[in-house]
Amino acid sequence: MAEEEKTEETPVKEESKTEVPKKFEKLVKEIEEMKVIDLAELVKVLEDKFGVSAAAPVAVAAAPVVSGDAAEAKSEFDVVLTAVGDKKIDVIKAVKEVTQKGLKEAKDVVDAAATGEQVIKEKANKKDAEELKGKFEAAGATVELR
């Protein structure tokens, strides 16, 4: 427990290779000298004040479906795997190729698609999205462009 208290009292000091603009030097220096617990509190205050989150963004699994003329006006599409089909191995290979993930990660994506939709590629242009859709459909999967 003494170590935990020591951690809270220890100022945050990490060397960074990031170039700090002159106008932020004073603010960054103050933050560097803050205790970890105070820094955590500051982050919470900033999140609440500005309605933002310091957490890494997470891909949204289900986006609204766009159809008709609105789909023609879109320039970016999410490629969403909605069903795997009978050729699971072919679909895993396609996911691995498209996403540059390892075999295990690609399998995990396909397994997750069996219980719900999985976004394979976000913000693809129309041509690329159509090509990906064709690739997955050839592998036996069902894909939607959103």
Mean pLDDT for all residues in the chain: 76
Strands 76-83 and 142-145: antiparallel
Please check whether residue 58 lies inside any domain of the structure: no
Flag whether pLDDT at 46 surpasses 70: yes
Q: Quick one: 74 and 141 in the same domain? A: yes
Residue 142 CA to its chain's centroid (Å): 22
Among the listed residues 76, 110, 68, 75, the one whose alpha carbon sits nearest the alpha carbon of residue 93: 110
Q: Is the pLDDT of residue 1 over 50?
A: no
pLDDT grade for 11, boundaries at 50, 70 and 90: low
In this predicted structure, the answer to whether residue 55 has a pLDDT above a threshold of 70 is no
C-alpha span between 130 and 85 (Å, rounded): 19
**Single-letter amino acid, residue 70:** A
For residues 115 and 121, what is the distance between their CA atoms, to the nearest angstrom? 18
Q: Which domain holds residue 96?
A: 69-145
Residues 73 and 6 in one domain: no
Total domains in the chain come to 2
- Do residues 81 and 123 both lie within one domain? yes
40 and 7 belong to one structural domain: yes
Q: What percent of the chain has pLDDT over 90?
A: 1
pLDDT in tens, 75-122: 888 888 888 888 888 888 888 888 888 888 888 888 888 777 888 888
127 assigned to some structural domain: yes
Mean pLDDT, residues 34-41 taken together? 82
DSSP 10: S
- Name which residue leads in pLDDT, 17 or 5: 17
pTM as predicted = 0.48
- Residue 133 in domain: yes
| CA–CA distance, 132 with 29 (Å, rounded to integer) | 47
61 in any annotated domain: no
